[in-house]
Structure 1
Amino acid sequence: MPESVNRRLFLLGGAGAVAVAAGAAGLTRAGASEGAGLAQPLGEVFTLGVASGEPTATGIVLWTRLAVDPVAENGLGGMPGRAVPVQWQLSKNEQFTKIVRAGNAVATPDSAHSVHVEVEGLAPGTEYFYRFRSGKAVSRVGRTRTAPALGTLGALTMCFASCAHYGEGYFTAYRRLAEDHPDLVLHLGDYQYEYASKAKDVRKVLGPETVELADYRLRHGQYKTDADLQLAHATAPWLVVFDDHETENNWAGEVPEAGSQTPRGPAFMARRKAAFQAYYENMPLRRSAKPHGSDIQLYRRLNWGSLATFHMLDTRQYRDDQACGDGVKAGCDERLNPTRSITGERQEKWLVDGFHSSRARWDVLGQQVFFSQIDLTPGAAEGYNMDAWDGYQANRDRIASAMGNSRVRNGVVLTGDVHRHWAAEIKETYGSPDSKGVGTEFITTSITSGKDGDDGTNQAVLDENPHVKFHKNRRGYVRTKFTAGELRADYRIVPFVSKPDAAAETAASFVVEDRSPALHRA
């Protein structure tokens, strides 16, 4: 690993007061008067780390959440029932001798003392460092960067991940992701899980199954105490979308999971409201994503210069209920109903309009569930996952057709959810092996969900689906590099998560060439 990367990981890995002591002293002096209103010293309040997100060419979101007791049962982090002032700084170097922006924020009880600072007026394509102070406490240092200006191609290293169950293993893959020093991180859902602790869990999950706001806040608080997760947040800006477990397994629109302890109707909508509120409080999202009751605006578009446009989707909030029940089903004609939607009509139109107006080299969908068709039942019978796009075939086929018959030059779908690494070629239709290729799909395995996994190849499913080119049942993430001429995807895995500190290796690599929607094994 380059010395500069090692040094930055060291700096990011410790509290800002230790890592850059001289600069931290300057922050304390500069903000002393703002902290004078504290009724009493709170001690260490940056126990949940720092994060940044939503980078544009001129702006970024900086996040933290104050907590002196991150796992307090009421979900409020042991904080007092009053507003607490917070100062922040943004600098061009880790020593904070080149500060370009600074300001004050207020952390309030009604937002669980979270802080979302939207900084504007920054230089495009520039690396920055940031930190917070409250009272005498100084946060760790975070690294972030703005997106390049439109018209810029260049290169982008981006990692994406999903499915981190605290109880099912250690978050080592997040640390290995941070060591790749990405410019951007996408998290594609299941950032946390709703379940109470189970007897066979690797690590103890605190609190009951998450139903009330206090439950969700406590669960996010426990996750955020993880050092590997904190490092991954502090290393690069994140773009996030949720899937199901941030609320409840396999929920669909206003419908809870089959057999849920929360009945359909007002009770489930109250649970959804609580989950969305806690999710916003704990993610580096813009104010435009702040929930309104049980609704949240999460689908959005972000440009990385002219190299890539990221279309971040919400495949939970607007979907119809799963056809024929959850899980893998055979002979379910309802999944073919042309009116069924996983995106909702408005989001589908927004996405297709974006395809037709695209000027990017790569159009990238950041989303939650398997997009390509995949028959999971070897042999003559066909079995499809009703929770994935296969349960909403017409909706999927319309989007795939638009991807292949619009201004999209290179269509790429990034996916989480299934706790396995997969790679697939997207066809306009799947009735014939000669169907037109319109894009490629990269599916990341989980950070921990499913525990250690195994080395099985699932060859029978691969044989059943010739457009699916790869499968691996280990934990990890995907590292990508976008350039004007190609996209490279490295499937990173760790051999175990039942113990900490596993090394990472690359299980397979694929290259997609410009204007050629096919996977080439590297």
Structure 2
Amino acid sequence: MADSARPLNRRSFLVTSGLAATTVAATTVAGGALAPGAARAADLRSSALPADPFTLGVASGDPEPDGFVLWTRLALDPLAEDGLGGMPARTVPVSWEVSSDERFRSIERRGTAAARPQSAHSVHVELNGLRPGRDYWYRFRTGTHVSPVGRTRTAPHPATFGPALAMAFVSCSQFEHGYFTAYRRLAEEHPDLVLHLGDYQYEYKKGVYTIAGGNVRDHEGPETVTLADYRLRHAQYKSDRDLQAAHEAAPWLVVFDDHEVENNWADDIPEEGSDTPTYEAFRARRAAAFRAYYENMPLRRRSVPRGPDMQLYRRVGWGRLANFHMLDTRQFRDDQGCGDGYKDCPEATDPKRSITGDRQEAWLLDGFRRSRARWDVLGQQVFFAQRDNTDGPVKKTSMDGWDGYVASRDRITKGWVDAKVRNPVVLTGDVHAHWASDLKTDYDDPGSKTVGSELVCTSITSTGDGKDSNPADHPYLKINPHLRFYNNQRGYVMTTISKEEMKADFKTLPTVRTPGAGISTKATYVIEDRVPGVNQTYLRPFAAAKMSAPSDSELIRETIANETQP
């Protein structure tokens, strides 16, 4: 029997539309153009829309060996103030199609989902029953309108390694601070998987978060507080064609950080000086933010929010090659110590404080004990390794990162050491700069054992262009010898994960103030199998003669400002 004509089992696919989940009967066909089938054709004709509703693109995510999630959201006018995309107040049927070839000659699955007004006409199609370790292409249709085509991929079979994995990770895309050229360049690298580690969108109204030289473009609408605000902001970001190209290129694993809700929030506690100062107001704001986040991301129905709560931490396997432990370091953390910022803060070492919460910590430690993967990768938001910004006995570190939750970091590190995790690697966003570091059992003793590796990606646009520098001159690397690399330009990290090594290319752009800049590799680091720590194999020369070298104090101030504004 041909693969395209295989019978479906009763779990062949699930469809979720907005915040409700529905099991739908499917028709599996071979070949042919995009067609909803005779039974659906009349419905689709009667639901005709006056213009192209696929203005926000398409996406896929959370791949498993037999499937993935497909996403789209209909919007005739993405910048409509009510956040509903100019759509009529009725359910619109949307047909979808998955093919094993780019020209859709071999159709594997097709069906119809309902785009409902109560979910901002978003569609989540949750498929299984497909073949492991394969590329697939997908598209949507309503009436005569056909979406862009997206490429996605299933994970390898759990018993196999599969080929080397091309995985990119990104964070921090502030729309006002620049063009999303880095997303376009990432798409051109044809990754198998993309991890977004937070700050996918920013909450500020126009002009509040400004950069030197002025913002490049403007946010629409007020600061995001209501559901309509968050829906509008997500639509503005999703309207960007460079971002759409990155979603079309590969399946994504997403986690939020702070700006998807509000800067520096912690559990039920808003930012100091927030426009939502009460517990009740912030819980309502968080519920609105989570609902809009789900509506606009390729997430499975396990992540459908329940009011102000959302199940985001999860584990995704990539055959025997890798486990991706995707963490949530916002929703369950204790409040930042000593009023946040860089501090010498006794609260940072309080053994009762946690950045993950007890349940998530237990889940992660259990995952380490059960893992048989070659690589165990933590996809998470904030800096993991210690970063002391003072050369002396007084230690000043960021209260927003794991430095503000030292006991929590120690327990996680001890957990992977005790479980004899073969290759623990932490991936991080948030800080708007590239970093690479060795992870230690005792950061205050440079001779202590290296027990893991951390790779940190810079921002897509946040804080503007930044500038190149000689990593060896940065004072943080002198004060903290386990920190091995730093660069303050925009870009992303492109990794290649094989059985023998994880290779990380730190990609940078010369500018994000104008669209279309070229990408280059600033540095390459390799983590070898069973050899914890990062090893530099390439560094693009720094043209020191073209600019004056800043002082150590200037570099420290620049780094802190880069992370803490506004």
* TM-score using structure 1 length: 0.94
Aligned to 1:461: 476
Q: 1:237 aligns with which of 247, 251, 275?
A: 251
Aligned to 1:8: none
Aligned to 1:180: 189
Q: 1:256 aligns with which of 266, 270, 283?
A: 270
Aligned to 1:155: 164
Give the Cα–Cα distance (whole angstroms) in 2 for the partners of residues 80 and 378 of structure 1.
Answer: 61
Give the Cα–Cα distance (whole angstroms) in 2 for the partners of residues 41 and 362 of structure 1.
Answer: 47
Give the Cα–Cα distance (whole angstroms) in 2 for the partners of residues 102 and 25 of structure 1.
Answer: 11
The within-5 A match list for 1:187-202 is 187-198=196-207, 200-202=214-216
Confirm or deny that 1:217 pairs with 2:231.
yes
Which AA in structure 2 matches 1:327? G
SS in 2 for 1:32: helix
Aligned to 2:429: 416
SS in 2 for 1:176: helix
SS in 2 for 1:473: strand
Give the Cα–Cα distance (whole angstroms) in 2 for the partners of residues 285 and 449 of structure 1.
Answer: 25
Which AA in structure 1 matches 2:75? A
Higher alpha-carbon deviation: 477-486 or 431-440: 431-440
Q: Deviation at 1:28?
A: 6.4
Give the Cα–Cα distance (whole angstroms) in 2 for the partners of residues 477 and 495 of structure 1.
Answer: 13
Q: Deviation at 1:138?
A: 0.3
Give the Cα–Cα distance (whole angstroms) in 1 for the partners of residues 367 and 375 of structure 2.
Answer: 12
Identity between Structure 1 and Structure 2 (%):
60
Q: Deviation at 1:455?
A: 1.8
Aligned to 1:203: 217
Higher alpha-carbon deviation: 83-92 or 424-433: 424-433
- Deviations along 1:61-85, one digit per CA (max 9) or x if unpaired, are 0000000001100000001111100
Q: 2:145 aligns with which of 137, 148, 157?
A: 137
Q: 2:375 aligns with which of 354, 357, 362?
A: 362
Confirm or deny that 1:489 pairs with 2:498.
no
Q: Deviation at 1:275?
A: 0.3
Give the Cα–Cα distance (whole angstroms) in 1 for the partners of residues 135 and 42 of structure 2.
Answer: 30
Aligned to 1:78: 86
Aligned to 2:123: 115
* TM-score using structure 2 length: 0.86
Contact 2:32 2:105 in 1 (8 A): no
Confirm or deny that 1:228 pairs with 2:279.
no
- Deviations along 1:94-128, one digit per CA (max 9) or x if unpaired, are 11110000001000011100000001100000100
- Deviations along 1:152-207, one digit per CA (max 9) or x if unpaired, are 11310000000000000000000111111100000000000000111722111100
Aligned to 2:544: none
Aligned to 1:345: 358
- Which consecutive unaligned segments of at least 5 residues does structure 2 have? 1-30, 538-566
Aligned to 1:268: 282
RMSD over equivalenced CA pairs, Å: 1.3
Q: 1:296 aligns with which of 310, 317, 328?
A: 310
Aligned to 2:545: none
Runs of 4+ in 1 over 6 A off after TM superposition: none
Confirm or deny that 1:511 pairs with 2:526.
yes
Which AA in structure 2 matches 1:273? A
Q: Deviation at 1:24?
A: 9.0
Give the Cα–Cα distance (whole angstroms) in 1 for the partners of residues 260 and 238 of structure 2.
Answer: 14
Aligned to 1:11: none
Confirm or deny that 1:309 pairs with 2:329.
no
SS in 2 for 1:132: strand
SS in 2 for 1:55: strand
Q: Deviation at 1:261?
A: 0.9
Aligned to 2:563: none
Which AA in structure 2 matches 1:44? D
Aligned to 1:5: none
Aligned to 2:25: none
Q: 1:169 aligns with which of 171, 178, 181?
A: 178
Aligned to 1:20: none
The aligned length equals 498
Aligned to 1:91: 99
Q: Deviation at 1:376?
A: 2.1
Q: Deviation at 1:150?
A: 1.1
Contact 1:262 1:268 in 2 (8 A): yes
Give the Cα–Cα distance (whole angstroms) in 2 for the partners of residues 489 and 209 of structure 1.
Answer: 36
Q: Deviation at 1:325?
A: 1.0
Which AA in structure 2 matches 1:190? D
Which AA in structure 2 matches 1:470? F
Q: Deviation at 1:34?
A: 3.4
Confirm or deny that 1:383 pairs with 2:392.
no
Aligned to 2:334: 320
Change (3 A) 1:213 1:24: farther
SS in 1 for 2:96: strand
Q: 1:428 aligns with which of 434, 441, 460?
A: 441
- Which consecutive unaligned segments of at least 5 residues does structure 1 have? 1-22
